[in-house]
């Protein structure tokens, strides 16, 4: 079996989603037990801070890229027919 066929298999995709969700949950649970002694940011002592920080950064990147695409890339309907 070719590698791309393996990764496109629906059974593998379901298994991969479960594995990644379990790893995410495990990392969030582990964050409750890891001592946080030195803080660079004010909220860094909170459990799950970096997960929330990453989610916020990702959402910001998506919103800004959609806005830039709307402003500079998209054309009005009928632009190429005129």
For 2-39, the pLDDT digits (tens) are 877 777 888 888 999 999 999 989 988 998 888 888 88
- Torsion sign, CA atoms 42, 43, 45, 49: negative
Q: Are residues 45 and 36 in contact, defined by beta-carbon separation less than 8 angstroms?
A: yes
In the predicted structure, residue 61 carries a pLDDT above the cut 90: yes
pLDDT in tens, 30-54: 988 888 888 888 888 888 888 889 9
Q: Quick one: how far is CA 6 from the chain centroid?
A: 23
Band (pLDDT 50/70/90 cuts) for residue 82 is low
- The string of DSSP letters for the chain reads --HHHHHH-HHHHHHHHHHHHHHHHHHHHHHHHS-----SSGGGGSTTHHHHHHHHHHHHHHHHHHHHIIIII---TTTTT-
């Amino acid at each position: 079996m070719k590698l791309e066929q393996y990764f496109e298999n629906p059974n593998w995709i379901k298994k991969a989603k479960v594995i990644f969700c379990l790893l995410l949950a495990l990392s969030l649970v582990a964050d409750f037990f890891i001592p946080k002694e030195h803080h660079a940011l004010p909220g860094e002592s909170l459990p799950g801070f970096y997960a929330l920080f990453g989610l916020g950064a990702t959402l910001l990147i998506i919103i800004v890229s959609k806005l830039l695409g709307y402003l500079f890339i998209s054309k009005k309907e009928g632009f190429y027919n005129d």
